[in-house]
Structure 1
Amino acid sequence: MRRIAFLWVGLAIACIALGAAAAFETRATRLQAIKTVGIVSAIGEEMSLTQAGLIALGNARQSLSISAWGLDELIVQQATKLLGGRFRVQAVSYRRAAFAAIRDSAVAPVNLLRSDPFKELVRSDVAPQGLDAYIVITRARSKLGNGRNVEGIGLAQYRTLLADYGLIHALYEVRVIDGKSFDVIEKRAAAPLDNTGTMRLAGPSGPIDATFEGPAASERLRAAITDLITRSLPVTLGDMHLIDGQ
């Protein structure tokens, strides 16, 4: 009986491996067939302010508009430059607010059985239609400290009895959506740039200190967020095999 059990386990592992290999081959084949792409970005109109930790700081979600920073325009420009070596990138129009309004990430395990809401928006809200694929860049989420969710562009403060930590973050995920079937070919959340700090998030983030205070704080904050995006986007697109040579 033990031998039979081992055989069943071995067979199951082999089937899983074959299924994963077939899925990878299908994904790679579909990516190779893409010639024209449009880029949608909807992460940068709003900054969240989050407080968490052992000391109660209030649970109300706070946010402020940073639309003047032009982060989504920056992302489209950088992605166009990065992807232009492999694809013909065509400008597209879309309702950014409609994409930004979807707050429940379809990458999360709880949503794996649901239809991805972004593919329906690509079908109904992006023009022109008919491109081979659409690259959709939207907010991602991560847990902070004791379980508070943070998402997208933001500043997070975490306090304990002995210390006070601050983080800036630019959490986002990238989807490749087929322009004909509107299936999600590939999706990936941007990974951390490093994991050496005391506070860590599952995405691009960095510490803040006293240099972010004072009259020029807003400009320093904008520059730091921009740096997180410009350093992480090539890595993310490379991990998705969307950039030649990656």
Structure 2
Amino acid sequence: MRRIAFLWIGLAAACVALGAAAAFETRASRIQAIKTVGIVSAIGEEMSLTQAGLTRLGTTAQSLPISAWALDELIVQQATRLLEGRLRVQPLTYRRAAFAAIRDSAVAPVNLLRSDPFKELVRSDVAPQGLDAYIVITRARSKLGNGRNVEGVGLAEYRTLLADYGLIHALYEVRIIDGKSFNVIEKRAAGPLDNTGTVPLAGPSGPVDEALGGSAPSERLRAAVVDLITRSLPVTFGDMHLIGG
């Protein structure tokens, strides 16, 4: 009986592995079949200022407008350059605020029975329609230190009893949405870069010594955010099999 039980367990595990491999192959083949795409970006209209840690449990996050940084335009431009070698990228019109208003993150657990919140928005709010796929880039979320959520572009100050740490982050996720069915072919949050700081985040981030609470974000902070996006976007697209290989 024990041998039979082990055989059943082994067979079940093999079936799961085969199913996962088949699903991966299907996604990869669907991505490889894409020829025309449009790019939506909606992460860069505001910057959060977060204070956290043992001495900052009662503080609330603040935000500053950074629309003048034109981060979404930069993301669309960089994504277009990365994809143009294999795909034909079509300029899009869409309401950026409508995409930015949706709070849903690939970093957090996702209810697989719930329809993706961007599906209908791409169907109803993006022009032109009829492309093979749409790449949607929006804010992602991660935990900081004691469990406080941070998302999108932001500057975080984490205080302990012994030291203060500054952290700049540009957290985002990328969806590939089928242009005919509007189903999500692939969804992935940009991962951490090669910086493993004292207070790591599950996404692009790095140390910074800029003080919080200034009247306006500085050009140095913008350069740090642009660097995070510029270095992480090719890696994320590569992981999603949009470029390379």
**Cα deviation, residue 56, structure 1:** 2.8
Matched letter for residue 178 of structure 2: D
Deviations 1:30-88 (A, max 9, x none): 11211100000000001111111111353323111100000000000000000000100
TM-aligned CA distance change 1:175 to 1:188, over 3 Å: same
Deviations 1:169-200 (A, max 9, x none): 00001000000000100111101112432110
Q: Distance in 1 between matches of 2:141 and 2:187?
A: 14
Q: Distance in 1 between matches of 2:198 and 2:69?
A: 28
| Match in the other structure for 1:194 | 194
TM-aligned CA distance change 1:212 to 1:54, over 3 Å: closer
Give the TM-score normalised by structure 1: 0.94
| Match in the other structure for 2:130 | 130
TM-aligned CA distance change 1:160 to 1:100, over 3 Å: same
Matched, 1:157 2:157: yes
Q: Distance in 2 between matches of 1:237 and 1:128?
A: 23
Tell whether the 8 Å contact from 1:106 to 1:112 is kept in structure 2 after alignment.
no
| Match in the other structure for 1:51 | 51
TM-aligned CA distance change 1:99 to 1:239, over 3 Å: same
| Match in the other structure for 2:113 | 113
Q: Distance in 2 between matches of 1:214 and 1:201?
A: 23
Matched letter for residue 19 of structure 2: G
| Match in the other structure for 1:171 | 171
Q: Distance in 1 between matches of 2:209 and 2:193?
A: 18
Give the TM-score normalised by structure 2: 0.95
Structure 1 gap segments, 5+ residues each: none
Q: Distance in 2 between matches of 1:207 and 1:148?
A: 18
Q: Distance in 2 between matches of 1:101 and 1:215?
A: 24
Q: Distance in 2 between matches of 1:110 and 1:59?
A: 28
Q: Distance in 2 between matches of 1:169 and 1:35?
A: 32
Q: Helix, strand or coil for the counterpart of 1:109?
A: coil
State how 1:67-146 maps to structure 2 within 5 Å: 67-105=67-105, 108-146=108-146
Q: Distance in 1 between matches of 2:221 and 2:194?
A: 19
Tell whether the 8 Å contact from 1:193 to 1:204 is kept in structure 2 after alignment.
yes
**Cα deviation, residue 217, structure 1:** 6.3
**Cα deviation, residue 2, structure 1:** 1.8
TM-aligned CA distance change 1:7 to 1:195, over 3 Å: farther
Matched letter for residue 138 of structure 1: T
Matched letter for residue 63 of structure 1: S
Tell whether the 8 Å contact from 2:166 to 2:210 is kept in structure 1 after alignment.
no
| Match in the other structure for 2:230 | 230
TM-aligned CA distance change 1:116 to 1:107, over 3 Å: farther
Q: Distance in 2 between matches of 1:123 and 1:228?
A: 30
Tell whether the 8 Å contact from 1:105 to 1:111 is kept in structure 2 after alignment.
no
Tell whether the 8 Å contact from 1:212 to 1:221 is kept in structure 2 after alignment.
no
TM-aligned CA distance change 1:238 to 1:214, over 3 Å: same
Deviations 1:66-112 (A, max 9, x none): 00000000000000000000100000000000000011325632432
| Runs of 4+ residues over 4 Å off in structure 1 | 210-217
**Cα deviation, residue 24, structure 1:** 1.0
Tell whether the 8 Å contact from 1:145 to 1:199 is kept in structure 2 after alignment.
yes
Q: Helix, strand or coil for the counterpart of 1:227?
A: helix
Superposed CA RMSD in Å reads 1.9
